[in-house]
Amino acid sequence: MNPLLQFIFARRSVRTYAPQPVAHDLVQDLLEAAMSAPSAVAKDPWEFIVVRSRQTLQRLAACLPNGQMLAQAALGIVVCGDLERAHDRQLSYLLQDCSASIENLLLAAHALGLGACWLGVHPRTDRVDHVRSLLNIPAHVLPVSIISLGWPAESPPPRTRFRAEAVHQETW
C-alpha cells in the first residue's frame, strides 16, 4: 500500500461507538467536506439532515436490517438528493453526486478520528418511505443513505480490496 494513500486504506466502516457526543463544529467540518464533492454541472443536489435524537436514531435503525448500530451512534446524517436540482433532473446524476458527497464525508470523518458507516436507504422502497415519513422529507427529495457517526470503539485494520482481475487495459 502506498503510504501517501494510507488514510484511504485505513478508512473502514465502524459499527461500534463510544458513548461520547460529537461536537457541532466537527459536524460542520463533515458537512463542508461532503459539500466539497464534485457534482454534475455543479448542481449540488444534496441535502443533509443531522439527527442526534436517540429516539429518532432508534426509529431510523428499525428500518435498516444491517443498520442497528445507528441506534447507538452519537448521530446520524441522512443524505438526500433533490431531484429538481439534479442535472437534467436525472436520478442517476443525483445518485452519483450524493455518493461523491458521502465518500467525502466518510474520509473526513476518518481524518477527524471519528468512526462512520454508510447505510443504504435507496433503492429499497420500504426504507425510503420510512425515512421520508419519519423526517418529513418532501416528495421531490430522495433519502439516499444514512451515515452513522461517533467516536469509534473499534479499530478495523487498514486494507485494500484491490483485485487485479477487475482491471482491464484498453478494452475488456
Domains of the chain: 14-154 (3.40.109.10)
The confidence score (pLDDT) of residue 39 equals 98
What is the mean pLDDT of the segment spanning 83-108? 98
State how far the Cα of 150 lies from the Cα of 18, in Å rounded to an integer: 7
Kindly report the pTM of this predicted structure: 0.96
Q: How does the average pLDDT of the chain come out, rounded?
A: 97
Instruction: Please say whether the beta carbons of 51 and 75 come within 8 A.
Output: yes
State how far the Cα of 60 lies from the Cα of 155, in Å rounded to an integer: 25
State how far the Cα of 135 lies from the Cα of 123, in Å rounded to an integer: 17
Share of the chain above pLDDT 90, in %: 99
Alpha-carbon distances of 135 from 2, 42, 59, 93, 99, rounded to whole Å: 42, 27, 10, 23, 20
Supply the DSSP symbol for 140.
T
Instruction: Please say whether the beta carbons of 146 and 42 come within 8 A.
Output: no
Q: pLDDT at residue 109 above 90?
A: yes
What lies within 8 Å, CB to CB, of 162 at 6+ separation is none
State how far the Cα of 55 lies from the Cα of 48, in Å rounded to an integer: 19
CB 156: neighbour CB atoms within 10 A? Answer: 13
The confidence score (pLDDT) of residue 130 equals 98
157 burial level (CB within 10 Å; 0-12, 13-18, 19+) = exposed
pLDDT tens digits, 38-71: 999 999 999 999 999 999 999 999 999 999 999 9
The confidence score (pLDDT) of residue 1 equals 80
Cα–Cα nearest to 79, from 41, 37, 34? 34
Bridge partners, residue 115, by sequence? 150
- The sheet with strand 46-51 has its strands ordered as 46-51, 75-82, 141-150, 115-120
